Amino acid sequence: MRKTLPSLAAFAVALACSGTLLAESADKVAAAQKSTPTQLVDALNGVFGKHPARAVHAKGIVLEGTFTPSDTAKAISKAPHLQDTSVPVTVRFSAFAGIPTVSDTDGLASPRGLAVKFHLAGGATTDIVAHSFNGFPSATADDFRDLLIALSQSGPDAAKPTPLETYLGTHPAAKNFLTAPKPAPISYATLPFFGVNTFKFTNAANTATYGRYQFLPVAGEHYLSDAETAKQAPDYLGNEIQERVKHGPVKFKLVLQIADAGDKLDDPSVTWPKQRKTVELGTLEVTKTVADNDAAQKQLMFLPSSVPAGIETADPMIDARSAAYPISFGRRQ
């Protein structure tokens, strides 16, 4: 049986107890017409508490490797890392919660994160940020802020119906995100990861394609049962991936799921059907851990809006996320 997140009530209680609730900040955010980058980070802190780490996906491990484009990639985009030459990459695997000490066996550790920084010629970079659930709880940055506020205000002493229960009653995508099974993996190497936002890709002939990224594990998808998960150490995934890369590269196929006519391009809470066409963009090979993980964690920032010519953002949430990440980065320096 696959491991799932706690019930909604237990999930809200766990989040409320995981850090100091910033009630004043949450009230201020709730009163705003539109969420600002600072308000988004404040809302995350309101759920998980303040600490000298990322506001979300706080616990992680940094590795290095290469990305080799496929023969079909250049037909999709003229972006430099999708042409003929392999490029070095920095990779970060992470747990979901904004809690640096969250156990890898905790339901709050899912969905897991994968962020990839491609190092291009001349010192330029481009990033992909993905997680291990095909979907997102909110259609817009404002909706996501409202969900976070509802979570932070739905602790064990909250009156019924709690703000979270009220919110989920009118936001089925958020309810599905919180309650869908998210089993603990055997390894970061045995999870698929999904870029839930849409990008526009343009090739040398100026032909445009809209799509969403997926990282598919070459080792296949493999998960633990509840009983097996309970026996694992709190840092089993970080330890396992460090050991695994000593014996050979961890590989993922980077594919692009292509939008069909009528597919929502600007709403990450709407998952496209599995039957949509996919095109292989290349192979990610993770080969070694960095020498100093703590230092790398502090220095790294991934911006999904950091794209080269040949790729453009097609979902406003990409820019909202990229504006919030530097706020979190500044707070952990």
Helix then strand then coil, % of the chain, to nearest 5: 35, 25, 45
Q: In whole angstroms, what is the distance from residue 159 CA to residue 298 CA?
A: 39
Cβ atoms 51, 100 nearer than 8 A: yes
Cβ atoms 212, 272 nearer than 8 A: yes
**For the CA atoms of 174, 176, 179, 183, what is the dihedral angle to 10 degrees?**
-120
**For the CA atoms of 101, 105, 106, 107, what is the dihedral angle to 10 degrees?**
140
Structure tokens given for 318: 């990409």
Cβ atoms 215, 192 nearer than 8 A: yes
CA neighbor of 94 nearest in space, from 113, 110, 107, 117:
113
3-state secondary structure of 272: coil
Which DSSP state fits 60? E
Give the catalytic positions in this structure. Answer: 57
What residues contact residue 57 under an 8 Å CB cut-off, 6+ apart?
Answer: 94, 95, 96, 97, 98, 113
Beta strand residue intervals within 204-268, DSSP E: 208-217, 250-258
Residue whose token pair is 């694992």: 232
CA 214 to chain centre: 12
Q: In whole angstroms, what is the distance from residue 80 CA to residue 282 CA?
A: 13
Q: In whole angstroms, what is the distance from residue 225 CA to residue 237 CA?
A: 15
Q: In whole angstroms, what is the distance from residue 318 CA to residue 301 CA?
A: 15
Q: In whole angstroms, what is the distance from residue 157 CA to residue 256 CA?
A: 45
